[in-house]
Amino acid sequence: MALPLHAMQPLITDDTGTQGIGVQQIEMAAARARQATGPARQTGDNLSATYTYGVADTVDVYVAPTYLRMQADGSRVSGWGNTALGLKWRLYENEATGTSLGIKPELQAPVSSAREGRGLGDGRSSGQVTLLLSQQLPFGALHANYAWGRQRDIDPAAGAINRRLSTALVWNIAEDWKLAADVGLQQRQGRDATRQRTRYAELGVVYSLSPRWDLAAGLIRARDDQQPAVRTTTGTLGLTGHF
């Protein structure tokens, strides 16, 4: 029920920025989602840690394990979800115009059939590739993504194709503060040809505690086009360090 959070915290839309050769980054994030479908209610918690290493000035590799906890109708489910493995490559940069392009392929390691049955992830390897565009602006930056991914479950009828088109605007409002707005459209197309579209909007803020540490918070509202509609509100809090 949670949106992917492997971009710069707290955004969903990623940028083309990389760490630089030999530089390490650790991101620790917590998210709580409240989902409403008509009178039904469900809550979910997502704890994740993303480790990123700069193997070249323009290439990062990363690993991101996730722990999930969900509650609905008096029942609770918790456990480890899919672990993401991926890289980000900034393949074009024009310093004069401030424009850069990148690509980010990602693999989701499978969970066990028991954990898939409990709703904790996909039981077969899944993947996604994201195209990245960043434009530097006098007051901050504009980022845009197009993502395409295949979700594969042990049940072959449960797989899906996922697409996301999104954009984020970041303002440098003070020396140590950034404000961000992120909007996007996601589409899930099942193997039975059914489609579900979800629109989301996010407001976020980043505060630099020091040259090495950033604190980020965000609030995401999402709604799909089903009847009855599924409405989700997600709050995120994250800490990012560079070494």
- Beta-carbon contacts of residue 120 (< 8 Å; ≥ 6 apart): 68, 77, 79, 80, 81, 111
pLDDT in tens, 169-193: 999 999 999 999 999 999 999 988 8
CA pair distance 144, 14, nearest whole angstrom: 8
- pLDDT, tens only, 121-174: 899 999 999 999 999 999 999 999 999 999 998 887 778 999 999 999 999 999
Arithmetic mean of pLDDT, 216-226: 96
Domain 24-242 CATH class label:
mainly beta
Annotated domain spans of the chain: 24-242
pLDDT of 5 strictly over 80: no
pTM of structure: 0.93
The pLDDT of residue 182 is 98
